[in-house]
Structure 1
């Protein structure tokens, strides 16, 4: 039984790692895969399963930190120790990242319990998948053909705030944090790659903060019996997120958002007709 639980944990880590930073909704995929197939609640209880999903999300966060380590050194040292080349009129500032974090951070704190109790279901995910896909199509259609912001160091405070407002949409499971924020960035005049870079950097503090708060609230479920399952999921998510982030960043400027939007709509349709 323990081996089976570890295999399930690795599969969930794979799903988390591959989908966390692609605009397809990792939360949506996790809920769908878990609720309809793996059923982690059967071996971790409801709150233990939710805590497990938080832990493996930390694996994905670590993958972002590794990928953008020079950029984070620059932000935290205010540019004194970074090897990152300056592009445009200056560097991305920590204060700009904070501006982008405030809207979703405030709403997340206010409505975290409500979201956990009422929005984590397959039905709500389907809604998020479809509406998020429509937003992504709109971003590609209405966004500028030749974006003015071609470097993350050219992002303005206004752009950071608008992206932060779009990030609020991702509080609805299935909407996708990267899908909503990349769409918002593109609509403000960023290239798809710049919007993706900024999205990933913003994701670290808000995801880490939410994860640690959830862990503190559910620390009692981090038992020694469950530890091998948690570790397996964490390592799996880290490895697959590391691969998927680098692949996605090379791909996004070429394919843009519409292919991901089509995938989301097809996925929602298949799930609806098969399971409902």
Structure 2
């Protein structure tokens, strides 16, 4: 079995080559979202390091979330852009596919944990084994992955044996690393809602509710699309739908997180203007 895997030449990533009419708009959309994610997350990392007013636990988590987002998107998006720029699918080596999947899983789990910790911190303020096992399975001599990255399920479904047990393992891992953190986040925000309703001032309620609702939007986008992708059985899956859902948690949420979590925050805005003024006034 190990020998068979060693003789595998490479995986063929289908990407969006079967949707040629969408390749051009997808390329520009993904590129703009990626650049916005890079700019926003780099800005947050810079601000949380440079400004003494942002050295609280909340911004400690934001700093590390932005770092994870940078690595997370860079693991997937540059290759996706390269594939979208050409009409034909491109190959990825066996070990390249394994490395991308491993990094994607580790960073995805890290983001789940950070989002959970941030939700708990906000409430207090107001009131990788599977990837290595997959690559021990036998694969066809010329495997084609109908996806734009080496994600767990698309690669797993190429294997000729042991798929059922591995899919059950993926589902269990999804429950542990996605559904449990998501449940904790929902619980935290339910308590936040309770605290908001107990506030006497209508203006305070509106302000806190506006902030928390935007945070919940990102949480639902990330956890919702990821859980639908990994929990839905193969019989109910669609190749095109899986790829569109994957774009949400690999491209869209990393772009939205800097805007929603910090750039709407008055402390961060104040720190940003202070840094800009200091740079402008310095000789």
Relative to the length of structure 1, the TM-score reads 0.28
Relative to the length of structure 2, the TM-score reads 0.27
